[in-house]
Amino acid sequence: MSDSRQNYRLGDMTAAIFAQAAAANPVVLLPLGSHEDHGPHLPMGDYLLAEQLAVRIAQAATDKGVVTFAAPCLPFGVADYFGATPGGLALSPASFRAVLAEVLASLLGHGLSNIVILNGHGGNVPVIHEVTLEIRRTRNIILPSFYLWKIARQLMEAQLGAGSQERFGHGAEPLLSLTKALRGAFVQPGEVLAHGGETMLGLPVSGFGTLDFHGLAIDAPVEFDQVPLAATQAAWPLASAELGAQTAESLISAAAQFVVHFGRLPRGAAGCVV
């Protein structure tokens, strides 16, 4: 299965070819992403990064002896802070929950119970937990979720060392260098201005959904166009395709190792991890 001609995308395979491969109950990766504003410098479709990484993770895990395929990426994430910015395409939490539950039910219905979710959007996290918890309770099947950007941040922080925390955030690292490495043609040149000074209720906007009240974080319906871009401004002059490529390789390696661990766990009578 490590032949360079091997297909790792379900979308590239005929149903008959995949039915033959599926008889061994391979691991199936389900990438999730978003289509949202990342600032004036980055493309909106970070789901394309998740999809690209999923294929490379599938290949790396297969090369290690655990046959793995990447399902098509769900490009629309849970709507959170981006309603005010143009071009964003998102689902309500209820809609995303229904779509995710039905996609997973479809895979499970085909007897594909070894599923790893590769999540590429923070707003998806609580809904993924709800859906997978229900599957565990009703079917006694455990479906783990590997949060790509959270783990990429951990790997990049370890590489950069102390004092790098100000470079991390939405539109900043780790997605900035990852995009330069994997989709560099779509990164817009120029300076990124750290806009600020936005207020709500007479208080300064301090972050996603928060206002600053004498040093205390007050939750409020703040959207992305009002959030300061300090992290992006700090990351912009230091980000690079080289850093992104190194992080991508570390991320692929870590994810593939997890997939191999998951794929080799003892299975129950139904062939799934319980």
Q: Rounding to the nearest 10 degrees, give the CA dihedral for residues 222, 225, 229, 235.
A: 120
Is there a contact between 205 and 228 (Cβ–Cβ < 8 Å)? yes
Is 156 contained in some domain? Answer: yes
As a whole number of angstroms, the distance between CA 135 and CA 93 comes to: 18
Residue keyed to tokens 């570390």: 250
Residue partners of 10: CB distance under 8 A and separation at least 6:
18, 28, 69, 70, 71, 72
Task: Count Cα atoms within 13 angstroms, Cβ side, for 240.
Answer: 5
How much is the pLDDT for 195?
Answer: 61
SS3 for 74? Answer: strand
Which residue stretches of the chain have pLDDT < 70? 1-5, 191-196, 269-271, 274
DSSP letter at 68 equals E
Is 39 contained in some domain? Answer: yes
> Which H or E run contains 84?
none
Q: How many CB atoms lie within 10 A of CB 230?
A: 15
How much is the pLDDT for 6?
Answer: 74
Is 207 contained in some domain? Answer: no
Reading the block at residue 89, the tokens are 């395409």
How much is the pLDDT for 25?
Answer: 87
How much is the pLDDT for 125?
Answer: 97
How much is the pLDDT for 4?
Answer: 44
Q: Tell me the torsion sign for CA atoms 107, 112, 113, 119.
A: negative
Is 69 contained in some domain? Answer: yes
Total structural domains within the chain = 1
Residue 29, CA distances (Å) to 45, 49, 258, 264 in order? 19, 14, 12, 15
> Residue 141's domain is classified under what CATH number?
3.40.50.10310
Q: Tell me the torsion sign for CA atoms 131, 134, 139, 143.
A: positive
Is 139 contained in some domain? Answer: yes
As a whole number of angstroms, the distance between CA 203 and CA 249 comes to: 42
Is 251 contained in some domain? Answer: yes
How much is the pLDDT for 86?
Answer: 86
Helix axes 47-63, 148-160, angle to 10 degrees: 80
How much is the pLDDT for 270?
Answer: 56
Residue 92, CA distances (Å) to 35, 78, 80, 113 in order? 13, 6, 9, 27
Q: Which domain holds residue 36?
A: 10-161+240-263
How much is the pLDDT for 74?
Answer: 97
How much is the pLDDT for 3?
Answer: 45
Is 61 contained in some domain? Answer: yes
Is 199 contained in some domain? Answer: no
Rg of the chain over Cα atoms, rounded to whole angstroms, equals 20
